[in-house]
Amino acid sequence: MAKLNILEFPDPRLTTVASAVVVFDEALKLLVADMTETMYSAHGIGLAATQVNVHKRLLVLDVSEEQNQPRVYINPDILSRSGEQSHEEGCLSVPGIYASVKRAENITVRAVGIDGISFEEQLEGLHAVCIQHEMDHLIGRLFVDYLSPLKRNMVRKKLEKQRKVASQEAEDHLVI
């Protein structure tokens, strides 16, 4: 397995709309394994293929407390949604930024597993939030897109500043 590079806002590749997975082979299994490892090592609870610059409709997540129940959703579709909830969300592609986003409370999702078999699930709470957040990535949307243009610009500036500090630190130190 390998850790993959995660694209960060405002990288334009994050706005790509992913296409359906049609081939279920060893390469897909490897991608899922790599994405799962990447998600755990970055301490995320979800990761969409878009974020690792693979523009296919699949996502991994683990909303369990022990972080030992990885799940994969391939070609996910939301069949129904109801209710409303707001969570403070973050994103591995927008590091250090958190904002409250309104999502459906209950959803019914249909997706395909790594075995190529279709399944349906009714989800609520954090699991539902996570799927909706990751599915947004697959259509090129980030949670900061729900913010006002003014706030989104503040996020952009904050990230630029963070990166400048990080690269200055790298210059000042011997980074091997």
Residues 73 to 92 in contact with Ni ion, rule: CB under 5 A: 91
Shortest Å, Cβ 138 to Ni ion: 11
β partners of residue 100? 88
Tell me if 37 sits within 8 A of 3, measured CB to CB. Answer: yes
Shortest Å, Cβ 117 to Ni ion: 26
**Two tokens at 85?**
């909830």
β partners of residue 56? 19
Residue 24 or 78 having the CB closest to Ni ion = 78
How many residues bind to Ni ion according to rule CB under 5 A?
1
Residue 74 or 134 having the CB closest to Ni ion = 134
Residues 18 to 47 in contact with Ni ion, rule: CB under 5 A: none
**Two tokens at 75?**
């070609």
β partners of residue 61? 46, 71
Shortest Å, Cβ 51 to Ni ion: 6
Q: What sign has the CA pseudo-torsion 166, 136, 33, 128?
A: positive
Burial 35-51 (b: 16+ CB within 10 A, else e): bbbbbbeeebbbbbbbb
Tell me if 137 sits within 8 A of 50, measured CB to CB. Answer: yes
Residue 24 or 53 having the CB closest to Ni ion = 53
Residues 89 to 128 in contact with Ni ion, rule: CB under 5 A: 91
Shortest Å, Cβ 127 to Ni ion: 15
Tell me if 21 sits within 8 A of 75, measured CB to CB. Answer: yes
Of the listed 89, 134, 160, 169, which one is catalytic?
Answer: 134
Residue 123 or 132 having the CB closest to Ni ion = 132
Catalytic residue at 134?
yes
- List of residues contacting Ni ion (CB under 5 A): 91
Catalytic residue list:
134
